[in-house]
Structure formats: C-alpha cells, structure tokens
Chain A
C-alpha cells in the first residue's frame, strides 16, 4: 500500500465519521421511532454504523446520506425484530414499516426538536436537569436510579412524565415561533 493509498483511506474514514457524527441524532431518532427501547436502539445503531462503513463505497456523495442510511438502518431493524421478536414487546412489521416511512420524512424536524429541547432545558432547574441526565444517560433502569436517589419508583416515573410534558409544551411553542411545522 502506497503512502497515497493510505492517505486516501484516511480521508475516506474521516469523511465517513464526519457524516456519521453529523447525522447521528437524526438516525438515532429514526430508529427510536421504530424500536422505542433505548438498549435496542443503541444495539441497532451500532450494527447500522458497521454496515454503513462496509457499504460506504456504494454511497453516492451527491445524494442524501441520511436517507441512504435510513434504508440500511431499516434493514437492520427488520433483522433485529426477526431475532428479538419474542424477547420484548415490539410492534409488528406492518406498523414498523409505516413508522419508518414517516420518520424518514421528518429528519429536519427531529433536528429542530433537538435544538428546541436544548434551549428549553434552560427553563428547568439544575436539580431537574440532573434527574433527566441521570435517567437518560447510560443504561441504568428507572428502578435503579430511583433506588440510588432514595426515591419511590412510581414517584420518579410521575416526575419524569411531568418534565416530559413541560418540555414538549416548550418545544411546541419554540417551533411555532420559528415557523417550523410539526
């Protein structure tokens, strides 16, 4: 392998990682809408990343990386559901296909909602943010988090539900102000 070849490979790899970083949230949201459970989503995201890398040569740089990635991600979802169908409650393939079609069409909306969420977070107290951080970062279950916080599990569920509602309201208002149709 020549120095030029090595440099070319390095450039390709850097471009791939940059694309993956740029689209990671959209892709993650696309998978979440089909699988819901974060562990399942994370597993399929990993497998999708590997397949995307292997098939990178097939990607047309003039096209949409996200929509190309969605096609591959959807195949991974189907594979995952075939294997895992009975190990957790999952939607059937008919509904998953429908959700995938609709999710693929709202990548910019997902990104806008993320931007709005970041701004809405500033309206929450540090303690509320810390609870969300605890529940959404990592793989601890709500039961585990409640136990470590010394709180009742149901009380934590209720607080999370209230925080989600508050954030949803805030996101809707922000998107409406910015003229983003949701």
Chain B
C-alpha cells in the first residue's frame, strides 16, 4: 500500500467515512509498519491540536468580546488569553468555596470536557451535562448548549426525543412534547410531558419536581408522565419517594420496582394504584414484545430508543451493539423519527418510533449470537416497510428506489458475504423479490408509495440447501394466524451457509424507506402475532 493510499485512508478515518474493509486494511498496516504509525500519530496530533486550538480560540474570542465591551477598545488575542486565565483562577476559587458546602462531591462536578471553555464554565457552575438529541428534534425553548453541553434553564421539546446526561451521573430522556426546567446537575422541574430517569450507580441521587410534588430516587430507573389532570409514576428498578409539596402535612409515599401510581393534580397526597406499564414507556415496550413472543423471538428492534442513538445499540434485543453504516454510504447513518399515529394491521403506533433510512446508506447490525443453521431449522423475519416519495413525481417508476433486507453469513471476504447472503425486499418498480445466495425470483405486486406493507420472510434449511420465501401483506389485508400455504415469492433453493451473523438494510439511492418492528423468530406467530386481529384502517 502506497503512502498516498495511507494518507487517503487516514483522511477517511478522520472524517468518519472509512468503511469496514478499509479500516481492516489500515489496522493491519499500522500493526506491521512503524513508519505508518509515525505518520498516523502525526496526523492524530494535528487533529488534537486543531481541537485544542479551536477550543482555546473560542475562549479567547469570548473573553476578547467581554473586554472590548468593558474597555471600549480592541485587544489582541494574546492579551485576552491572560485575562481568561486570571478569570479562570478566580472562578476556580469561587467554585471550591461553593463545593465545600454542597452535599454533592467535587468529582461529580469534574465531568468536564477537555477545552478550557468547558473547564471554566463547569467550574463556575454554568454547564451541568451533555445533551444528545436526534436529528429531527425541534425545540421551542432552545437549550443553551456549548460544545454539546447544556446549562441550567428551561427546555421545551416540541418533537423527537433527547437525552440529558447530567454530570451527576443521572440520565434523563425527554419524550416530546415535554417542558422541563434544569435546576442544577442533580435536579430538574418537570412542567409537562414525559421523562424517563435513569439514576446510575455513580450518581448521588436526583431530585425531580413536579408542580405538586418532589420525587427523590433511591437508586432507580423510573418514568414520570405529567398530564393536565394527573401525574403518573412508574418505577422500573429500585424505588422512589413521592412527597406532595402543595399540601400541608404531606405524607411521603415510597413506590418500588414494578409499581405505578397515579396522582390527581388537585389531590397529590392521595395515590391511585394503576397497572404497571399501563402507559407504554419506551423502557417497557421491548419487555412486552419479548414476553408476548413466548421466548420464540431471536431478535427485535422497534427503533424506540432513545434520542436516535442507532450506533450505541440501545434499542431492541438480540443484537451485539448498534447499527453501523457500511458499504459505499457516506452520509448520516439514518434517523429514528416519530411514527405516524396510525393503526397498521391492527398494531397501534401512536407515540412510537421508526427507522427512516435512505440515500443508499446501508445499515448493518450483528446478531448477539449467530443464527446457526442445521437440517430442518426454520426461522422467520417480519418488518413493516413504507417508501416515502422524495418528489412530486412519486407515482412514476424511478430507479434507485428499491429496498433490500439481507442476512449475511460470517466471512472476512466481502465478496463471499455478498455472494452467499440471502435477501428479500422490493425492486424500484415495486416487485417483491427473493435473492437466495445469487438465485433471484421476483413477483410483481401492487405497490403504493407511502403505504405501509408487512413483509414476512421464511428461511428453511435442509442438509445443504436453503429455501427462502416471502409473503407481502397489502395495507388492507388481514394477517394469517397460521403459516399460509401461498407465498408472494418462492425463491429457488440454493446452497446454504452454516450460519447468519448479521442483517443488512439497503435502501436505494433515490428513496427514503420507513422501517419498523423488525422481528426475527423461530415461529410464524412470534413475528406476526402483534398483527393478529383487525385489518388496518
């Protein structure tokens, strides 16, 4: 590999556009070639230096502006930097004085970024955590965010979901619509909406206030939903103590794991027991799905989690890690967006989330355990899919608007993986297809842009051969409660791999596909049971 190739790969690595194969080649080169490592470290030093320079420069600019206002004169950056250091020294002393009288420990306050701006602002108490938000988040009250970190103040989330990772060790997920006031690194006041609170083991605790109460955790995960009439508290782990604040002589109430309470806002000292999980918080959805499948689900992703963090592997179960961008894709991974408040195949998606993938960006996710194939093994997969029009000519057939769902065997060779994958989906003109390790079969079907289809895939292994079939359910169809005799596409038999290790989703270059409720299981009902009942409206 030439130095030019090495430089190109280093640029891709730095830009985050490197693919799996290039990454593997680069890693091998760096392991074996000291001169390549020297070049690599020099490039990384440049990256680190640029980050430090940019952070310092921002502080200097800020201080310079302050000094300019105060003195009415222009100062050089060098002079301003000394002002910053002096100011920082003062703020450090102030911060230490404050720390001594606070119940929180200093180490909690030291969750700082590397930039002096972060150090300065955290020490002076301005920034209290890091915010993670999905790309389609809309804020009415925009948080004061500096370098991804937020300060106390009012936040109002209009759509999407966001996660506040407090330096105190508590994570709070906001589900829109939600209004909350951040008081400090370990307290907040909920004004409206729903939050999920995860007080991690390193936290010293978190105080959540509502207009009528205080909720203090006791090492826990819980959710609070504040409506106009009542407040619901659901405790997933640990316990919380509910204390009414709007009444005289309040009586505390402890709510423990698996319990839920409802309090009328006009009567916050009187609790009403409600079934735990009656309200579908994100945290409970996956547990419900697993239970309903009778243990026959191998993997599931409803794309419910959390602030759109697809890469972090927090949604679903049966997976090893999160979704990864692969292939030629260079854009953003994909989005997790609000599902429409609709009923598809009897399945209510109100308040749920789904995956929106497009622009040819391939997504891949590894199974937690490989799906080993033996003679007579059968497994099923189902998903909801809808193609979204990108322009006014949506009704016309447009190339590059296909969707391919692939199951991949284990191999270090991308070529082998491609040749022995089994895939299914829709062609650009809406035909359903199965590609069983290179043997392709397709059937024309009535495909409508924007409509949601249920696709069910079945793979059966014999001694050396695998067969794949697909059933596509139209939007108004009733779902069979037992395995159907007729399939939309029956693929040709082909030599089968020993196991499948990952799933790949490949949307066409010119399409956006909405994908939801991805299920893999060992029986028909495990992947379709959620849709038994009335047809969609």
- B99 near A102 (CB under 8 angstroms)? no
CB neighbours of A157 from chain B (8 A): 11, 15, 17
Task: Tell me the residues in window 53-86 of chain A with beta carbons closer than 8 Å to chain B beta carbons.
Answer: 53-54, 84-86
- B92 near A17 (CB under 8 angstroms)? yes
Known A-B contacts A32-B47, A53-B106; A42 and B114 likewise in contact (beta carbons under 8 Å) = yes
Q: Does A141 contact B (CB under 8 A)?
A: yes
- A28 near B41 (CB under 8 angstroms)? no
B27 touches which of A54, A92, A129 (Cβ 8 Å): A92
Among B106, B114, B332, find the residue whose CB has the most chain A CB atoms closer than 10 A. B114
CB neighbours of B148 from chain A (8 A): 39, 42, 138-139
Interface size class of B (residues with CB under 8 A): 35 or more
| Nearest chain B CB to A90 CB, angstrom units | 9
Known A-B contacts A13-B106, A114-B53; A161 and B119 likewise in contact (beta carbons under 8 Å) = no
Q: Mark B81-124, 1 if CB is under 8 A from A, else 0.
A: 00000000000110011011000001110111110100100010
Among B11, B30, B49, B320, find the residue whose CB has the most chain A CB atoms closer than 10 A. B49
CB neighbours of B14 from chain A (8 A): 36
- A182 near B42 (CB under 8 angstroms)? yes
- B20 near A99 (CB under 8 angstroms)? no
Q: Does A125 contact B (CB under 8 A)?
A: no
A-B contact count (CB 8 A): 175
CB neighbours of A95 from chain B (8 A): 27, 30-31
CB neighbours of B440 from chain A (8 A): none
Among B16, B108, B330, find the residue whose CB has the most chain A CB atoms closer than 10 A. B16
- B100 near A28 (CB under 8 angstroms)? no
| Nearest chain B CB to A144 CB, angstrom units | 9
- B46 near A137 (CB under 8 angstroms)? no
Known A-B contacts A45-B114, A113-B49; A139 and B147 likewise in contact (beta carbons under 8 Å) = yes
Interface size class of A (residues with CB under 8 A): 35 or more
Cα–Cα, bound, A99→B31 (Å):
9
Which chain B residue has the least Cβ–Cβ distance from A163?
A: B50
Known A-B contacts A21-B116, A98-B37; A6 and B100 likewise in contact (beta carbons under 8 Å) = yes
CB neighbours of A103 from chain B (8 A): 41
Among B15, B41, B111, B119, find the residue whose CB has the most chain A CB atoms closer than 10 A. B41
Cα–Cα, bound, A8→B307 (Å):
43
Cα–Cα, bound, A129→B50 (Å):
10
CB neighbours of B51 from chain A (8 A): 28, 32, 38, 136-137
Task: Tell me the residues in window 130-182 of chain A with beta carbons closer than 8 Å to chain B beta carbons.
Answer: 132-133, 136-139, 141-143, 153, 157, 160-161, 164, 167-168, 171, 182
- A136 near B53 (CB under 8 angstroms)? yes
Q: Does B18 contact A (CB under 8 A)?
A: yes
Known A-B contacts A6-B100, A14-B93; A98 and B31 likewise in contact (beta carbons under 8 Å) = yes
Known A-B contacts A49-B110, A136-B54, A139-B147; A102 and B37 likewise in contact (beta carbons under 8 Å) = yes
CB neighbours of A50 from chain B (8 A): 107-108, 110-111
CB neighbours of B331 from chain A (8 A): 143
CB neighbours of A89 from chain B (8 A): 18, 20, 23, 324
- A117 near B46 (CB under 8 angstroms)? yes
B55 touches which of A27, A53, A137, A171 (Cβ 8 Å): A137
B41 touches which of A87, A106, A142 (Cβ 8 Å): A106
- B44 near A29 (CB under 8 angstroms)? yes
CB neighbours of B493 from chain A (8 A): none
Q: Does B209 contact A (CB under 8 A)?
A: no
Cα–Cα, bound, A17→B85 (Å):
13
CB neighbours of A153 from chain B (8 A): 330
Q: Mark B1-27, 1 if CB is under 8 A from A, else 0.
A: 000000000010111111010010001
Cα–Cα, bound, A59→B210 (Å):
44
Among A32, A53, A133, A142, find the residue whose CB has the most chain B CB atoms closer than 10 A. A32
- B27 near A32 (CB under 8 angstroms)? no
| Nearest chain A CB to B208 CB, angstrom units | 23
Q: Does B45 contact A (CB under 8 A)?
A: yes
Q: Does A128 contact B (CB under 8 A)?
A: no
- A117 near B114 (CB under 8 angstroms)? no
CB neighbours of B375 from chain A (8 A): none
Known A-B contacts A33-B41, A114-B49; A10 and B100 likewise in contact (beta carbons under 8 Å) = yes
Known A-B contacts A114-B49, A137-B57; A168 and B332 likewise in contact (beta carbons under 8 Å) = no
Q: Does B517 contact A (CB under 8 A)?
A: no
- B54 near A46 (CB under 8 angstroms)? no
- B322 near A87 (CB under 8 angstroms)? yes
| Nearest chain A CB to B10 CB, angstrom units | 9
CB neighbours of B332 from chain A (8 A): 141, 143
9 nearest A-B residue pairs (beta carbon):
A86-B321, A137-B54, A29-B48, A136-B54, A139-B148, A32-B48, A117-B49, A33-B44, A114-B49
Kindly list 6 other residue pairs between chains A and B, CB separation below 8 angstroms, not including A10-B93, A94-B31, A113-B45.
Answer: A17-B92, A85-B321, A86-B366, A129-B57, A137-B58, A157-B11
CB pairs A–B below 8 angstroms (23 shown): A6-B100, A9-B100, A10-B96, A10-B100, A13-B106, A24-B52, A28-B52, A28-B114, A29-B48, A36-B44, A38-B51, A46-B112, A84-B312, A87-B311, A87-B312, A88-B324, A99-B37, A102-B37, A103-B41, A106-B41, A136-B50, A137-B54, A157-B17
